[in-house]
Structure 1
Amino acid sequence: MRILMVCLGNICRSPLAEGILKDKVKKAGLAWEVDSAGIGDWHTGELPDKRSISTARQYGIDITDQRARQIRKEDLLHFDLILAMDDSNLRQIQLLAKQVQNPKSQVEMILNYLTPGKNQSVPDPYYGGLDGFEKVFQMLDEATDKIVERVMSYEV
């Protein structure tokens, strides 16, 4: 299984989602590939936001090996599942998918794993304080639990 998490700049939400899911995948002994990317290229090559790093660290997850990157057309051919953090990200990924012949990836909202069909967004904590990052972490932690449960039930 190959999963790509996508948010706007790849420094807040998607790095947290990547780190949380990688941690769960490792603990479960699964051979999954998990990565993240942003819609834009503003932060390419940068570390995740220091508040994302700090929040993840509180839960024993180190995301300092991640570097921001922009989603590419090739990602739609490589990843099995691309998970958007909000509806704007989802629309941008869908537009990119139209430029790819026979995209492999299933594209959906990450919180649909918690509330199927509701298309709820993970709020962008960038302009807030640490509390927003904690709330985002909790949402993503719950959603990634459901992702692991669902995918593992298909693989059995």
Structure 2
Amino acid sequence: MATTVSAPNGDKISVLFVCLGNICRSTMAEGVFRSIAKDPSSPYYNLIGTVDSCGTGGYHIGDEPDSRTLSTLRDNGITNYRHEARQLRDSDFKKFDYIFAMDNSNHSDIRRRFKKLDGQKAKVMLFGEFSGTGRKEAIQDPYYIGGDSFEKTYEQCRRFSDNFLATTFPDVSQSKR
């Protein structure tokens, strides 16, 4: 059962994860975050509203996540994740409370676009600001690296998600995490 706390503005918070093509890192982050926050047994259940992901580029619009992303999620018990790649939209800056970039290049691209828009509510950050190590970490694109890079991406997404939730909702019972 979830502890009763409010999101920063009293509403459920919304989170968008962004990488370049929206088939590897951002989809991994979305799947991991959703599995934590949307699980009815999670102490964060009912605190998170919309969770989504997209890419800064339009290379894979309409595609499913990379098969290695889906395989890694399944290997870690996340079996119900579905997504079609999409590109970042101007409306995302009004819709989401947090927009998390997976690396510095995408973070710069998002910030440049954000500065050109008026009346936005989104807080644009590098997801790796929640590394828990005291330093910002970028999530390298596993698409071309191969090996255990998808598992490393999963580990980072899990750690960053846990740290973000603990930081954002410090009143949630430690014993419930």
Tell me the TM-score normalised to structure 2 length. Answer: 0.82
Q: Which residue of 2 aligns with 1:23?
A: 35
Number of residues of Structure 1 aligned to a counterpart in Structure 2: 156
CA shift, 1:153, in A, is: 2.1
Task: Answer whether contact 2:54 2:86 (CA < 8 A) is retained.
Answer: yes
Name which of 3, 9, 13 aligns with 2:25: 13
Judged with a 3 Å threshold, the aligned counterparts in structure 2 of structure 1 residues 3 and 116 are, in CA distance, closer, same or farther, namely farther
Which residue does 2:89 correspond to in 1?
A: 72
1:139 matched to 2:156? The reply is: yes
What SS does the aligned partner of 1:153 have?
coil
Q: Which runs of 4+ in 1 moved over 4 A?
A: none
Letter in 1 for 2:18: V
Deviation of 1:34 after TM superposition, in Å, equals 0.7
Determine helix, strand or coil for the equivalent of 1:125.
Answer: coil
Distance 1:63 1:143 in 2: 21
Between the aligned residues of both structures, percent identity stands at: 37
Distance (Å, rounded) in 2 between the aligned partners of 1:152 and 1:54: 30
CA distance in 1, matches of 2:112, 2:60: 21
Q: Which runs of 5+ in 2 are unaligned?
A: 1-12
Distance 1:74 1:117 in 2: 32
Of residues 23, 37, 40, the one that matches 2:54 is 37
Unaligned runs of 5+ in 1: none
* Deviation of 1:32 (Å): 2.3
Q: CA deviation at 1:99?
A: 2.3
Match of 1:46 among 63, 67, 75: 63
Cα displacement string for residues 77-130 of structure 1 (whole angstroms, at most 9, x for unaligned residues): 110000000000001101111221121100111111114773321111000224
SS at match of 1:103: coil
Partner letter of residue 84 of structure 1? A
Amino acid at match of 1:132: S
Q: Given the two structures, how large is their TM-score scaled by the length of structure 1?
A: 0.93
Query: RMSD between aligned alpha carbons?
Result: 1.8
**Separation in 1, partners of 2:100, 2:171:** 18
